[in-house]
Amino acid sequence: MGFLLEVFRDALSALSGGLGGDLGSVVWLTSWIAFVATGISVLIGVPLGTTLGLSEFRGKRATTVLVNTGMGLPPVLAGLVLLLLLWRGGPFGAWGILFTPAAMVLAQAMLAIPIAVGLTASAISGLPLAAKEQLAAFQLSPWNRGAVAVREVWPAVGGAVAAAFGRVISEVGAVLIVGGNIRGETRVLTTAIVQETRQAQFGQALAFGFVLLGMALVVNAGITWLQFKDAAR
Amino acid sequence: MNPVLELDIRFPPSEPRVEVDGFRLAEAEKLVLFGPNGAGKSTLLRVLAGIIHEAEVPAAAYLPQAPWMFRGTAGQNLDFGLSADGRVLARAVAADLGVNDLGLRARQLSGGEAQRVAIARVLARGEEVVLLDEPLAAVDLRDRAEVAGIIRRRLDGRAAVIVTHDRDDAAILGDAMAVMLDGRIVQRGPVADVFAQPVDEAVADVVGVANVLVGDAAEVDGSLVSVDAGDLRVWGLGDAPTGGSARAMFGGETVTILPAGSAVGSARNSWTGRIRDVRRLGRLLEVVIDVGHPIVAIVTPGAADALDMSPGAEVVVSVKATAVRVVGGD
């Protein structure tokens, strides 16, 4: 118990001391990478998931299996594939974004898009038959039809956004590979925790963990508040 | 007149549940699809709406059986799928139907209110063909005739297929009626003819036998209105503006046949006529009496024995005014 208490005390003092000046840049980078990656995954994933949920076509089941597999894509594998694609001499090596935040955004979006697609599609598919039939009767443009459907299952789509964000902010394998955990450049909360843990700076690592948890809490509280506010409508 | 809709329907393709060859809908025709639950009425309507079974169908305004209210206000739900002009029209129809507070959450509307919103929305669409699946199912009994009358007026000039299993609704909404049994149309013709002369016992069982007299509303006496159909004056319950066209409806089972010369007491509707035809309808008899207009009566064989029912025999026919329903409009 003495050990854990000591770690805990170290974590608190690290938090109050600003984590050696690193905290600001790490939190800032973590935040904007997570928000941009979540934003991209929502912009791409929600329309795709809506289309998948509303349409009937040959191969819908197979597509759903692929998407669901994508939801469980191992981050280190995603990171490795992206690394190969972005490596000097690789197909997108000329972009020169490997070991930059841009590559980290790409990696996280790759992981979060299938979650946004899969959870949105499942929410839309779950619409009652009467709702789907009424939606078809409106004869709206595909875009408007999708918008009405998403609005109808908005709390579930909000859940999809929260899940995508959760995946993005907690992910470490892929950002470590394509970002490189360069101090002041590509170090985010999760890779910082890995780094500090490796160096047995447990208090420091735990302090980063608290911050990470706090961020997830704030974002999810916001989404949940929106869901509840709208639930009665 | 060219049909606005003509097709063969087999659905599902492999195992015919609904099978209708040469389904036709004439310009501005109002066709009622009548039949028991599970006869395939809604399925046929879905095919016509293009919702299932990709048949080549013209664009149609479609009211599903269970209209769904989406998140948002009644007003927002009223607007779905409508042009700017359509939205103005939808508000006018909604007001006719008594839907006034469009700021309410659509989910909080009662079934009847939600159905009115859905009716206003579908009637405000621009398509030439309108498909209504049980439009009055959720409407209170006492408001049904009024709502049906509004629907009838708003459908003016357009072709419509209307699913119902209610006799009164069918008589108000339809010009023609198709009776469906087990996925097939077993009889089709003018509403009054189908009600008065079902082709067989199965159809008679489903539609019941009813008289529909079309004429002009003549007099009002308290809650009673009279309709002059040719030389025949029929009194019934309802409201129809005098001078305007009106329909009087009553079931064949409400008609009493008495020996010629009988005093009929307080019955306002009693006419002398001659038996034209007697047909067996299962265990009952269907008797057609010509009183200047054919009236169909359903009687038990016992009642028939007490009377001379041979064709040509003179009888008195009586119907209580409270058993007759009068509705205004064409």
Closest CA to A168 of A44, A67, A31: A31
- The predicted structure's pLDDT at residue A170: 93
Compare CB distances from B68 to A134, A154, A233 and report the shortest one's residue.
Answer: A134
> If you search the block for the tokens 């066709």, which residue do you land on?
B31
Over its C-alpha atoms, chain B yields an Rg (Å, rounded) of 21
Which residues 6+ apart lie within 8 Å of A207 measured at CB? A10, A11, A12, A14, A15, A19
Give the gap in angstroms from C-alpha A48 to the nearest C-alpha of chain B. Answer: 21
Compare CB distances from B80 to A138, A154, A230 and report the shortest one's residue.
Answer: A138
Structural domains of chain B ordered from first start: 3-205 (3.40.50.300), 213-328 (2.40.50.100)
Q: What is the pLDDT of residues A184-208, one digit of tens each?
A: 899 999 999 999 999 999 999 999 9
Chain B residues whose beta carbon lies within 8 Å of the beta carbon of residue A233 = 71-72, 105, 107
* Pairwise CA distance, residues B172 & B198, whole Å: 18
Identify the closest residue of chain A to B132 by CA–CA distance: A137
Taking one residue from A and the other from B, the number of pairs with CB-CB distance under 8 angstroms is 46
Residue B5's SS3 state is strand
CATH 3.30.70.260 matches A25-231:
no
On whether the CB atoms of residues A188 and A215 are closer than 8 A, the answer is no
On whether the CB atoms of residues B275 and B313 are closer than 8 A, the answer is yes
Chain B residues whose beta carbon lies within 8 Å of the beta carbon of residue A124 = none
- The predicted structure's pLDDT at residue B98: 94
- The predicted structure's pLDDT at residue B171: 84
- The predicted structure's pLDDT at residue B166: 86
List the pLDDT tens digit at each of the 330 positions of chain B. Answer: 678 888 888 777 655 688 888 899 999 999 999 998 889 999 999 999 988 877 788 889 999 999 899 999 999 999 999 999 999 999 999 999 999 899 999 989 999 999 999 999 999 999 999 999 999 999 998 898 889 989 999 999 999 999 998 888 888 899 999 999 999 999 999 988 888 877 877 887 888 878 888 899 999 998 899 999 988 999 998 878 888 888 888 888 889 898 888 877 667 899 999 999 988 776 778 899 999 889 999 888 887 778 888 889 999 999 999 888 888 765
What torsion do the CA atoms of B79, B85, B89, B90 make, to the nearest 10 degrees? -10
Q: What is the pLDDT of residues A49-60, one digit of tens each?
A: 999 999 988 999
Q: Indicate the range of A124-138, A170-184, A207-221, B200-214 predicted with least confidence.
A: B200-214
A134–B contact, CB cutoff 8 A: yes
Whether residue B71 and residue A128 make contact (CB cut-off 8 A), yes or no, is no
Q: What is the CB neighbour count within 10 angstroms for residue A222?
A: 12
Give the gap in angstroms from C-alpha A228 to the nearest C-alpha of chain B. Answer: 14
Whether residue B81 and residue A128 make contact (CB cut-off 8 A), yes or no, is no
> If you search the block for the tokens 């950002």, which residue do you land on?
A175
Whether residue B64 and residue A140 make contact (CB cut-off 8 A), yes or no, is no
Q: What is the pLDDT of residues A62-107, one digit of tens each?
A: 999 999 999 999 999 999 999 999 999 999 999 999 999 999 999 9
Question: How would residue A232 be classed by pLDDT, with cut points 50, 70 and 90?
Answer: low
- Before B12, cis peptide (omega within 30)? yes
Chain A interface test: which of B80, B127, B131, B161 (most A C-beta within 10 Å): B80
CA distances from B109 to B71, B81, B91 (A): 12, 20, 16
- The predicted structure's pLDDT at residue A231: 62
Residue A125 DSSP one-character state? H
A137–B contact, CB cutoff 8 A: yes
* Pairwise CA distance, residues B172 & B21, whole Å: 27
Chain B interface test: which of A58, A124, A134 (most B C-beta within 10 Å): A134
Residue B105's SS3 state is strand
ipTM summary value: 0.80
